[in-house]
Amino acid sequence: MISRSEQRFIRINFITIIVTLLVILAGGIVRSTGSGMGCPDWPKCFDRYIPPTDVSQLPSGYKEKYVAGRIKKNEKFAKYLDGIGKKELADSIRNDKAITLPEEFNPAKTWTEYLNRLIGVFAGIFMLLTAAFAFVYRKTAKRILILSILNVFVIVLQAWLGAFVVSTNLTQWVVTAHMLIALLILAISIYTYSYAKQLHKERSVIMYRILWLKGFLFFTILVSIAQIILGAEVRESVDMIAKSLLLNGRETWIQKVGNVFNYHRDLAILVIITNGIIYKMVIDRFSGKAAPLLTARFILLTLLLQLLSGFALAYLSLPPVAQAVHILFATLLFSLQYYLYLLVYRTSTYKQ
User: In tens digits, what is the pLDDT along the chain, a chain of 352 residues?
Assistant: 778 899 999 999 999 999 999 988 888 888 777 777 778 777 788 888 888 888 888 877 777 777 777 777 777 777 877 777 777 767 777 777 666 667 778 888 889 888 988 888 898 899 999 999 999 999 889 999 999 999 999 988 887 777 666 555 556 667 777 788 889 999 999 999 999 998 877 766 665 677 888 899 999 999 999 999 888 888 878 877 877 777 777 778 888 888 888 889 899 999 999 999 999 988 888 877 688 899 999 999 999 999 999 888 888 888 888 888 898 999 999 999 999 999 988 776 656 5
Same domain, 261 and 346: yes
Domain edge (last residue) among 201, 229, 247: 201
Residue 302, domain extent:
203-352
The whole-angstrom distance between residue 146's C-alpha and the CA centroid of its chain comes to: 22
Same domain, 190 and 230: no
Same domain, 248 and 138: no
pLDDT recorded at residue 120: 86
Domain edge (last residue) among 142, 173, 201: 201
Give pTM, 2 decimals.
Answer: 0.85
- Give the DSSP letter string of 232-251: HHHHHHHHHHHHHTTT--GG
Same domain, 1 and 57: yes
Same domain, 129 and 232: no
Beta strands in 99-213 (DSSP E): 204-206
Radius of gyration of the chain, Cα coordinates, nearest whole angstrom: 22
pLDDT recorded at residue 249: 78
Q: Residue 269 contacts by C-beta under 8 Å, 6 or more apart in sequence?
A: none
Among 323, 334, 348, 322, which residue's Cα sits nearest to residue 298? 334
pLDDT recorded at residue 288: 72
- Tell me the CA end-to-end span of the chain in Å, nearest whole number: 29
Residue type, 288: G
Same domain, 35 and 112: yes
- Give the DSSP letter string of 104-115: PP-HHHHHHHHH
pLDDT recorded at residue 142: 92
pLDDT recorded at residue 9: 95
Residue type, 221: I
Cβ(95)–Cβ(78) under 8 Å?
no
Long-range contacts, stretch 94-99, CB < 8 angstroms, 24+ apart: 96/168, 96/169, 96/171, 98/169, 98/171, 98/243, 99/67, 99/70, 99/71, 99/74, 99/167, 99/168, 99/169, 99/171
pLDDT recorded at residue 229: 87
pLDDT recorded at residue 313: 86
Same domain, 195 and 207: no
Domain edge (last residue) among 141, 175, 201: 201
Strand partners, 137: none
Domain count, the chain: 2
